[in-house]
């Protein structure tokens, strides 16, 4: 019988089918991702307003102007701050709640999971405008809370104040995304065999020891994915910031992408804007490569 079994022959022919299946995807992918990315690099070396021929070659001039612009420096610092706050505040909050409601025995766990994940599906623009209202100095919820604690004072206009606007936006970012990360962690936690935790408990481990010796090490994979998502997402943040005041007042909430948009598409300095894009790309690339290296080492 064994010999009669047909040896599996992988599908090969016809070439035309293979091409039919792959070429449309290849064309769209090449036209709207690969070519534009290389064009970004090319444009960044020119001074160009998007019209007429691309002939004012400036070498690395755009980059040196960029690094001399204090607004771009600000934008980079703000972006870095968003990355740091996401990692240092948002992810621990997400992990904390995942530990509580990742346990199916916790009553209401499913309800809380649904509620916490909800802001993730609401569009960034709607979220941003809604929070403009929450922060509104005359009508907002923040005003009510402020007046409850300090009835005699005037409530602050957090989005109009250069010192507070970035922090206010970071609050919204945490509000919107902690549930996503929590959901990733819960999936990771539920993948851990219960026997492991029970065995540790029988051996006399307290909850902190169970967490640091079992849960945390086994969550490593999920944690690293979530950290990478968070870093790459924070570097590219645009919609939320734009919907909450376009990076103003006085560039106090400017991020790298709002800066790119303002120069590239509002002022039509495509060469200069592309230089910003190249820098964003390099930063993302460095993070991705470091991440992949770490993952590969982990697997070995």
Binder of other proteins out of 84, 150, 285, 290 (CB under 8 A): 285
Task: For residue 117, state whether it binds other proteins (rule: CB under 8 A).
Answer: yes
Q: Least CB distance from residue 213 to other proteins, whole Å?
A: 19
Taking CB under 8 A as the binding criterion, the range among 59-67, 106-114, 149-157, 194-202 that sits at the site for other proteins is 106-114
Residue in this structure with the two tokens 């612009």, named with its chain if needed:
69
Contact criterion met (CB below 8 Å) for 46 and 54: yes
* Cα separation, 271 vs 65, whole angstroms: 12
Residue selected from 4, 21, 194, 208 as contacting other proteins according to rule CB under 8 A: 21
The DSSP H or E segment spanning 95 is helix 91-101
Give the position of tokens 């944690």. Answer: 223
State the minimum distance, in angstroms, from the CB of residue 64 to other proteins.
Answer: 20
Stretch that binds other proteins, among 63-71, 74-82, 131-139, 158-166 (CB under 8 A): 131-139
By CB under 8 A, the residues from 172 to 231 that bind other proteins are 175, 179-180, 183-184, 187-188, 191, 221-222, 225-226
Rounded (10°) angle between helices 270-299 and 35-43: 120
Pick from 65, 71, 80, 295: which binds other proteins (CB under 8 A)? 295
Cα angle value 103/179/190 (rounded, 5°): 30
φ, ψ for residue 57, nearest 5 deg: -70, 130
Q: With binding defined as CB under 8 A, does residue 89 bind other proteins?
A: no
Count of residues binding other proteins (CB under 8 A)?
A: 94
Say how far apart CA 196 and CA 79 lie, in whole Å: 40
If binding is defined by CB under 8 A, does position 242 make contact with other proteins?
A: yes
d(CA 141, CA 131): 9
Shortest Å distance, C-beta 33 to other proteins: 5
Nearest C-alpha neighbor of 263 from the set 28, 9, 62: 62
**Residue 155 binding other proteins, by CB under 8 A:** no
43 binds other proteins (CB under 8 A): yes
CA distances from 251 to 69, 74, 81, 173, 176 (A): 12, 8, 15, 18, 23
Among 40, 86, 215, 234, binds other proteins (CB under 8 A): 40
- Residue 259 CA from chain centroid, whole number: 17
Binding to other proteins, residues 60-79 (CB under 8 A): none
The window from 17-25, 58-66, 153-161, 194-202 that contacts other proteins (CB under 8 A) reads 17-25
> What one-character DSSP code corresponds to residue 155?
P
Instruction: Out of 136, 146, 205, 218, name the contact with other proteins by CB under 8 A.
Output: 136
Smallest gap, in angstroms, from Cβ of residue 267 to other proteins? 12
39 near other proteins, judged by CB under 8 A: yes
């Amino acid at each position: 019988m064994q010999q009669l079994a047909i040896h599996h022959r992988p599908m090969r022919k016809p070439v035309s089918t293979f091409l039919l299946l792959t070429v449309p995807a290849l064309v769209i992918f090449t036209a709207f991702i690969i070519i534009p990315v290389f064009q970004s690099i090319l444009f960044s070396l020119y001074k160009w307003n998007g019209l007429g021929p691309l002939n004012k070659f400036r070498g690395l001039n755009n980059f040196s102007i960029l690094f001399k612009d204090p607004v771009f420096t600000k934008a980079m610092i703000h972006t870095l701050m968003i990355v740091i706050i996401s990692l240092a505040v948002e992810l621990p909050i997400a992990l904390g709640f995942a530990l509580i409601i990742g346990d199916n025995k916790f009553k209401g766990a499913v309800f809380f999971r649904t509620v916490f994940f909800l802001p993730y599906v609401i569009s960034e623009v709607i979220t941003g405008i809604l929070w403009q209202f929450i922060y509104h100095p005359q009508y907002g919820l923040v005003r009510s809370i402020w007046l409850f604690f300090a009835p005699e004072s005037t409530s602050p206009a957090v989005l109009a104040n250069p010192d507070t606007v970035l922090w206010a936006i970071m609050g919204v970012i945490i509000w919107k995304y902690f549930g996503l990360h929590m959901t990733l962690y819960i999936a990771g936690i539920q993948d851990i065999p219960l026997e492991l935790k029970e065995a540790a408990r029988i051996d006399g481990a307290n909850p902190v020891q169970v967490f640091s010796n079992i849960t945390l090490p086994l969550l490593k994979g999920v944690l690293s994915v979530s950290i990478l998502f968070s870093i790459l997402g924070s570097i590219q943040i645009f919609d939320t910031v734009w919907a909450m005041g376009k990076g103003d007042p006085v560039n106090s909430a400017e991020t790298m992408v709002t800066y790119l948009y303002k120069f590239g598409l509002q002022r039509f300095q495509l060469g200069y804007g592309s230089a910003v894009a190249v820098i964003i790309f390099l930063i993302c690339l460095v993070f991705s490569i470091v991440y992949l290296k770490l993952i590969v080492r982990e697997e070995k």
